[in-house]
């Protein structure tokens, strides 16, 4: 049995999703969002994300953290801000002693939908079908985080099947 915490980084909404892998079975455990106020300064938002992630890491004690790599946004400032959020995620995981695995958006979509160019709505629909969450995810950030966790668990299952 192995727990994976998937994270979809965002400066205002960061999604998280936790899945459990037992053998080849992957099942939903929990998910949610960390919403930070737009009125807060950037350092306050980053601190809030770190504190909430620390709570999630402590509560669930995952074996791995999977995070989506940054895509090159049209706005360089947005790319830099996402990089700062990812830095907070990496520090939180390192502080908890949990290894981090990174996946491109294309890898995540391909693992969940079977097509790397899938639309977010297709990813959300497949996440609901494959993992059957116990509630309707609040945002695409939450379903994207579950997709990242699923991607890692699926790849870990495949890698485990190749071991001697």
As annotated, the active-site residues are 8, 68, 141
Are 156 and 64 in contact, with CB atoms under 8 Å apart?
A: yes
Residue 151: DSSP 8-state: H
Are 145 and 31 in contact, with CB atoms under 8 Å apart?
A: yes
Nearest alpha-carbon partner for 69 in 3, 131, 148? 148
Are 101 and 114 in contact, with CB atoms under 8 Å apart?
A: no
Are 109 and 4 in contact, with CB atoms under 8 Å apart?
A: no
């Amino acid at each position: 049995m192995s727990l994976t915490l998937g994270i979809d980084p965002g400066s205002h909404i960061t999604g998280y999703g936790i899945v459990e892998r037992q053998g080849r079975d992957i099942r939903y455990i929990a998910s949610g969002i960390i919403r930070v106020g737009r009125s807060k300064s950037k350092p306050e938002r980053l601190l809030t994300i770190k504190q909430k992630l620390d709570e999630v890491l402590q509560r669930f004690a995952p074996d791995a953290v999977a995070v989506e790599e940054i895509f090159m946004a049209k706005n360089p400032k947005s790319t830099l801000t996402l990089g700062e959020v990812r830095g907070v995620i990496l520090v939180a995981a390192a502080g908890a002693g949990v290894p981090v695995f990174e996946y491109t958006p294309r890898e995540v979509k391909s693992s969940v939908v079977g097509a790397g160019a899938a639309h977010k709505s297709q990813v959300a629909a497949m996440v609901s079908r494959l993992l059957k969450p116990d509630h309707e995810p609040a945002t695409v950030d939450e379903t994207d985080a579950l997709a990242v966790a699923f991607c890692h668990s699926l790849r870990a299952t495949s890698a485990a099947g190749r071991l001697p």
